[in-house]
Amino acid sequence: MVKKNRFTNITILINIFSFPDTVNEYAARLVAAFVVILSFIYLFTQNIGILFFLIYGFLARVLAGPTLSPIALLVTKLIIPIIGNPQLLCPGPPKRFAQMIGFIFTSSTLYFVYISQIYIANLLLYILIFFALLESIFGFCAGCWVFRKMMNFGLIPQNTCKKCESPE
């Protein structure tokens, strides 16, 4: 019997709750496509469970990358391998920032649904859909763009993402 010590357990938790330094751009685009689909389903059905699922997915991706997100796991473990494991690596920190923006938008949507401001809730979700479509179809990550601008302005330390340093 292998005896585990507390450092092994801590290492396991660190591995689960860490965001990768690099992200497969194709996986990110497919996750964004799922966000679009689920957001539209919510808008047409008003099924609050879908909104909770979206919120959980964004939060899981912020906290742990793909390890706790059902959509990200589906994409990285099933869909990407089925389509031949295409790889296009991009920096992870901007993608994490973008997931945080998605979490804020979906959480705000839930808040406005809760206070019966459906117009504002739907508007927030349409904005999220717009930016998720940009990511999924064109590969343009608005959150990543904002992240890089914030680095250029000194709002985010340069050492947060060495791979993001590029002359613009």
pLDDT at residue number 167: 47
Pairwise CA distance, residues 37 & 1, whole Å: 47
Which are the contacts of 123, defined by CB distance < 8 A and separation ≥ 6?
Answer: none
For residue 18, pLDDT beyond 90: no
**pLDDT confidence bin for 158, thresholds 50/70/90:** confident
Dump pLDDT digits (tens) for 88-146: 999 999 999 999 999 999 999 999 999 999 999 999 999 999 999 999 999 999 999 99
Beta bridge partners of 22: 91
pTM over 0.75: yes
In this structure, are residues 19 and 66 in contact, taking their beta carbons and an 8 Å threshold? no
The per-residue pLDDT of the chain, averaged, comes to: 89
Nearest to 146 by CA among 95, 104, 106, 109: 95
